[in-house]
Amino acid sequence: MSRIYNFSAGPATLPEDVLNQAREELLDWHGAGMSVMEMSHRGKEFMSIAAQAEADLREIMAIPDNYKVLFLQGGASSQFAMVPMNLLGRTGKADYINTGSWSKKAIAEAKRYGEVNVVADTAAEFKAPAEADLSFSSDAAYVHYTPNETIQGVEFPYIPDTGDIPLVADMSSTILSRPIDVSKFGIIYAGAQKNVGPAGLTLVIIREDLIGHAPDSCPAMMNYRIHADADSMYNTPPTYAWYLAGLVFQWLKNNGGLEAMAVINERKAEELYAAVDASDFYANPVDPECRSWMNVPFTLADPELDGKFLEEAAAKGMKSLKGHRSVGGMRASIYNAMPEEGVQALIEFMKDFEQRNA
């Protein structure tokens, strides 16, 4: 067996230790005589898996007690709707920051439910707005932003200060990449398929006072109150994805937690950006202050060489480097589970490719 270095933006590479453990436990989980996939979500075995995963996530992220953690389905895209469906009606308006493709989708969805003020728009500039340029509507029900734009590779170097207005963050591609102060947020949500686990699971970390504001017309499956009251078991949750996320949380704990991840992630990103910056053959369009640790887009000076680059990288076991169709070029997603050796291998290949093709 030989595993590749998988630079996909998501579903993304998972820690090998986690996959091995899942394989060992696949047919018979801890003597239960069945796989986690086959268990009732209400049975004691799965209840223990679910509770352990939540406890570990709370520990790793230092989630305060006045926050609920929900293990939902529907992806981050459902949260684009669920956030306004539950909260926008409180004042009828919400503020959004637009930094790229995913912000835009969140904005488009929110507009179905009320007035949306785009208070800053740097989507065309490959950067986050300057902190000093931000001001918010005093009657906004919440402020929504995307701390890391997965496609553009733009990451906020700060957490916006919204005062008493709840801050809502789509952390799909940056959650668990470093420690964050959860108490600064009203809601954090994330699709799991990047830094958390397999696709199908969506994490929502929500301050308790923001639960219970949905209008009666809100479908049960979109209502935070219903999921919170049922401990994410209102209907059948994505049990296997929940279990695997739990294994990832244990892996994080065994590997020094988010402090250790932050050190490694910063180093991986710095080395890759340094390689891009050191040559005229490669370029990255993002404001250096706002460069993502997780998603590193780069272009080749001659786009005619893109196909050759991808083909040769794949032949060397480095796959899914093609950039998103909207920005072109390459994108290396280097989440927690991408080993440093993978980034080193990519850098060496980039240097070698440049020498042969410049």
Give contact residues for ligand PMP (rule: CB under 6 A).
10, 75-77, 102, 146, 150, 170, 172-173, 191
Cβ-Cβ contacts under 8 Å for 164 (sequence gap 6 or more)? none
Q: Is residue 141 within 8 Å of 276, Cβ to Cβ?
A: no
Least Å from the CB of residue 76 to ligand PMP: 3
Numbered residues of the known binding site for pyridoxal 5'-phosphate: 76-77, 102, 150, 170, 193, 235-236
Sign of CA dihedral 197, 200, 202, 203: negative
Instruction: Examine the residue annotation and report whether 133 is marked as an active-site residue of this protein.
Output: no
Nearer to ligand PMP, 194 or 207 (CB): 194
Q: Which of 166, 107, 157 is nearest to 136 (CA)?
A: 166
Q: How far apart are CA 184 and CA 161, in angstroms?
A: 8
Least Å from the CB of residue 1 to ligand PMP: 28
Q: How far apart are CA 204 and CA 81, in angstroms?
A: 13
Instruction: Examine the residue annotation and report whether 194 is marked as an active-site residue of this protein.
Output: yes
- E-strand ranges in 73-131 read 93-98, 115-121
Q: Which of 29, 56, 95, 170 is catalytic?
A: 170
Numbered residues of the known binding site: 42, 76-77, 102, 150, 170, 193, 235-236
DSSP lists the bridge partners of residue 184 as none
A 10 A CB-CB count for 227 gives 24
- Residue in the block written with tokens 């993502």: 292
Q: Which of 273, 313, 284, 332 is nearest to 7 (CA)?
A: 332
What are 230's two structure tokens? 């049922």
Least Å from the CB of residue 68 to ligand PMP: 20
Q: Which of 180, 354, 343 is nearest to 269 (CA)?
A: 343
Sheet holding 143-145, edge to edge: 67-72, 202-207, 187-191, 167-170, 143-145, 93-98, 115-121
Mode of pairing for the β-strands spanning 330-333 and 295-300: antiparallel
Least Å from the CB of residue 155 to ligand PMP: 11
Q: Which of 145, 197, 151 is nearest to 295 (CA)?
A: 151
Least Å from the CB of residue 227 to ligand PMP: 17
Numbered residues of the known binding site for L-glutamate: 42
Least Å from the CB of residue 10 to ligand PMP: 5
Q: Which of 29, 102, 242, 251 is catalytic?
A: 102
Q: Which of 68, 127, 194, 268 is catalytic?
A: 194
**Angle CA(87)–CA(92)–CA(97) in degrees, nearest 5?**
75
- Active site members: 102, 170, 194
